[in-house]
Structure 1
Amino acid sequence: MTGTLTHFTQERAPCGRLVDGDRSKDDDSEGLKFDDVHWACGCRTIRHEFHDGSVRLRTIRHDGKVLMDEHSGDHEA
């Protein structure tokens, strides 16, 4: 996997604060992609694309509250 880590300043976190943070991107060139953002306040967003084409999206506020948790591969029985 190839990856990059990029630092950013003063972007709006999911909690609404303007804070610094880091974005980590990884890719295996075969369909697996990770794009994770961590803000200095503790908020996080996670986007993972899997080999089967499904996508997982999560947004977690700095206090641990999950604001969004979706997976395109989730099906109801």
Structure 2
Amino acid sequence: MSTLALRIYYIFSNSFPPPVGDAMFYSKMAKQFLETGILGFNQTEPNAYVTPGLPLLLSAVYAMFDTGPLGFQLTQV
């Protein structure tokens, strides 16, 4: 079995806890960007506390696959 198939099987056969810490804030930041167009780390106003690369990537994935973790997990595979 190829490693791609194993990784996809692992994603679909397990349940994962919701993100915590920075992962949670990056996810919130990406969702906020989709809703309001504002990039703000743990705030509702724009700020430059983190670089925008990951939140923008998450926003693109969320726009294509919905805001659940499955789309981003498949993107990582």
Fold agreement, TM-score > 0.5: no
TM-score normalized with structure 2 length:
0.20
Considering fraction of residues, name the structure with more strand: 1
Larger RCO (alpha carbons 8 Å, 6+ apart): 2
